[in-house]
Amino acid sequence: MQDSTTALQQRANPIAAFWQKPLVQAFINDPVTLMSGVFLGVVLIGVIFAPLVAPHGYQEQQLKLRHLAPFSSGEAIVKDTTARDVTEERYYLLGTDHLGRDMVSRLIYGGRISITVGVLGVLVSGTIGIFLGLLAGYYRGVVDDVIMRAVDVFMSVPLLLLALMVLFILGPSFTNIIIVFAIARWMLFCRVTRGVVMSLREQTFIEAARAIGCSDQRVISRHIIPNLITPILTLAALDVPRNILTESALSFLGFGIQPPESSWGLMLASGRQYITSAWWIVVLPGLAIFLTALSFNLVGVWLRAVSDPLQRWRWLKQTKESKEAGITF
């Protein structure tokens, strides 16, 4: 009777039902993962709504206010409604760079490009890798041999060297960086997908689906792909920070995002000569890269742990449901 009442209450209040799920409770009860998730949420909100959040234009130069220290203010020259130059008192929370541009706005717009590159790189490389991994793991034989030999060839080339070669030929740009990640990162998704598909292919429910006449496309779409979601999400969460770090390194070397656009790696490159006189120009984008990559990694490690039956109990032991009934998910 009590279980049916609880079920009715959860059905009437879907938000409460979602909040009581063991996975959600495990996420909330782990302070490190929770802080990482909250930080990523704040960063994502900032980069998505950058035009609304950024206090000033990220390309707006105020040469008289260059190298302004954090928590400082100054008189900026702006245009009024009649296009005349007037002065305006402005507060700069994190100071200004060597061209008098607001560091907060630069960090927000720089994060917009860095995180977009990281996520799009995962989406493109993941799509290619998952498709080829499904073919290799399900059909085996010659298809598997050809795809896996291609994986071995691409994995033998260092990522940075391959990226520099491609960008030297195609030229540095946002689109070409995505092409680099598509060429250089699909192998990881392919190998993971192939391994999962090979293990699922021999399971009883797959054999039963074939026995009742299901086509290969139906078996793959209805029975195999749903079981790929957890490992692929875990791998994606761990691969996004790698893409962000790679983009930052390429931009630092001059082969990534080009001015007047802003990315965290480009901010590091343009401010490195001022590290002794204006440390915040280098430290702040470096700190943004470090904290974002660390947060993605921590969330990815948590996803990998909760998806592993041997480690899942560590994350569920503090929830009421798991204590009473040993709930798994």
Query: Could you tell me the CATH number of the domain that includes residue 176?
Result: 1.10.3720.10
List, as one string, the DSSP characters of 266-326: HHHHHHGGGTTT-THHHHHHHHHHHHHHHHHHHHHHHHHHHTSTTTHHHHHTTSHHHHHH-
Whole-model pTM: value is 0.81
Residue 294 pLDDT: 92
- Is 96 part of any domain? no
pLDDT band of 82, cuts 50, 70, 90: low
Q: What share of the chain is helix, strand, coil (3-state, %, to 5)?
A: 70, 5, 20
- Is 7 part of any domain? no
- Is 287 part of any domain? yes
Average of pLDDT values for 73-99?
Answer: 81
Residue type, 28: I
Residue type, 286: G
Of 247, 292, 233, which is closest to residue 47 (Cα–Cα)? 292
pLDDT band of 3, cuts 50, 70, 90: low
H-helix or E-strand containing 73? strand 72-79
- Is 123 part of any domain? yes
Return the SS3 of 58. Answer: coil
Residue 234 is encoded by which pair of tokens? 């875990």
* Structural domain harbouring 235: 31-64+102-309
- Is 18 part of any domain? no
Residue 190 has pLDDT above 60, yes or no: yes
Residue 38 has pLDDT above 60, yes or no: yes
- Is 322 part of any domain? no
- Is 87 part of any domain? no
From residue 26, alpha-carbon distances to 7, 191, 319 in Å are 20, 29, 7
pLDDT band of 1, cuts 50, 70, 90: very low
Residue 45 pLDDT: 92
- Is 74 part of any domain? no
Q: Could you give the number of structural domains in the chain? A: 1
292-325 residue pLDDT tens: 999 998 888 888 777 766 566 555 555 545 455 4
251-284 residue pLDDT tens: 888 888 888 888 898 888 888 888 888 899 999 9
100-128 residue pLDDT tens: 899 999 999 999 999 999 999 999 999 99
